[in-house]
Structure 1
Amino acid sequence: MRRKRTRTVSVSFDGRGQTTQDFAVGIGIFLLAIAFVFAYLSTLLTPFSSPVGGAESAQADRIAATIVDDLSETDQPNHLNATAFDETYGHQSSADLASELGLQSADDDVAIDRVNVTIRQLAADEDDRDLVTDDDGTTLRAGDQYQNQSAASAGRVVTVYTETDDDVCDPACRLVVRVW
């Protein structure tokens, strides 16, 4: 018996619609376009707030170190006098506090850099962190009102004493400096 010859069909490259290289280039361009759209779309939907940079973080750390250094006793570091804190920083306007701490200000009345200095109880729970008060009942805070805006912060663990009470913080307090 005689076998039939199989027929071969040859396809020339001129007749093909797409090669492997065409497919790879097309998919690559498509993926780049999708990535660009997602990257651009995310910038349109985010709120317009300036991120905190390294300059603000360094500034907050410098201010915290300055306050602790100025108000600490020589024999007990990080042991702050509440009355001295209130007299030095507590009753100043925003512009006066900016010049006291070496921050930028446009005039005598306008502070460019905003700062908030707060002394709170050091507690495990966020809700239990009460503000520390001095002998007059004045809370130990200075500067502008902080309302959860984007800010650089620096903290120090300190102890605070008043003239009538030797130790206000049990076991310690936290000095928090925020700059925005």
Structure 2
Amino acid sequence: MAREQHRHGCGRRRRTVSISLRERGQTTHDFVVGIGVFILAVAFVFSFLPTILTPFDSSVSGGQTAQADRIADRLVHNLSDADTSPNTINGDAFNDTDGELEDRVGLRTAGDRVNVSIEHLNESGPVNDEWTIGVEYNNQSAASSARIVTFEDGGPDERVAYRLVVRAW
């Protein structure tokens, strides 16, 4: 009976087959490539991280933003007639060449770095030079505030809406 078990393999454990991994181990070349890829990934993250935060880092202060908003509000308030719609301004009063910007805005001082322009709604840039007051704006970093206005007298076109843009830097 013992011989029968031995022949059929019931009483004896089978031999396991093992595979040698000595030839498939990590070589120095694999290690160097892995570390190189890791270092490149870390360098990419550190070089890309500042560009993620850049839009939130502004050279324009909160005071300049508030000043631009205040000037835009004062201009629309002082140049509009209370009987008409609130954002309909008098073009002749806006284009008055006798007064300084501070007089038109109604503030004691608007500063020497303020530009006010009338622009088309669908385009950037002033309608023309006669609808721009203040210091010339040359696309520098500036706080801006805009209001949608129409004109009642002496405007570029009294039936079209425009954007009144105030920039302070």
SS of 1:139's partner is helix
CA gap of 1:170–1:127, structure 2 versus 1, over 3 A, is farther
Give 1:174's match in structure 2, choosing from 127, 152, 163.
163
Which amino acid is the alignment partner of residue 177 of structure 1? V
Q: TM-score, structure 1 length as denominator?
A: 0.54
Across the two proteins, how many residue pairs are aligned to each other? 144
Asked if 1:156 is matched to 2:151, the reply is: no
The whole-number CA distance in structure 2 between the counterparts of 1:98 and 1:53 is 21
Within a 5 Å distance, the mapping from 1:21-60 to structure 2 comes to 51-60=59-68
The whole-number CA distance in structure 1 between the counterparts of 2:59 and 2:142 is 8
CA displacement at 1:86 relative to structure 2? 1.7
**Unaligned ranges ≥5, structure 2:** 1-38
The whole-number CA distance in structure 2 between the counterparts of 1:118 and 1:72 is 16
Within a 5 Å distance, the mapping from 1:104-143 to structure 2 comes to 111=112, 114-122=113-121, 124=122, 126=123, 130-131=127-128, 139-143=130-134
Q: TM-score, structure 2 length as denominator?
A: 0.57
CA displacement at 1:90 relative to structure 2? 7.2
**Unaligned ranges ≥5, structure 1:** 1-29, 106-110, 132-137
Which has the larger displacement, 165-174 or 53-62?
165-174
Select the structure of larger CA radius of gyration: 2
The whole-number CA distance in structure 1 between the counterparts of 2:80 and 2:49 is 49
CA displacement at 1:82 relative to structure 2? 1.1
Give 2:78's match in structure 1, choosing from 64, 70, 75.
70
RMSD: 4.7
The structure that is helix-richer by fraction is 2
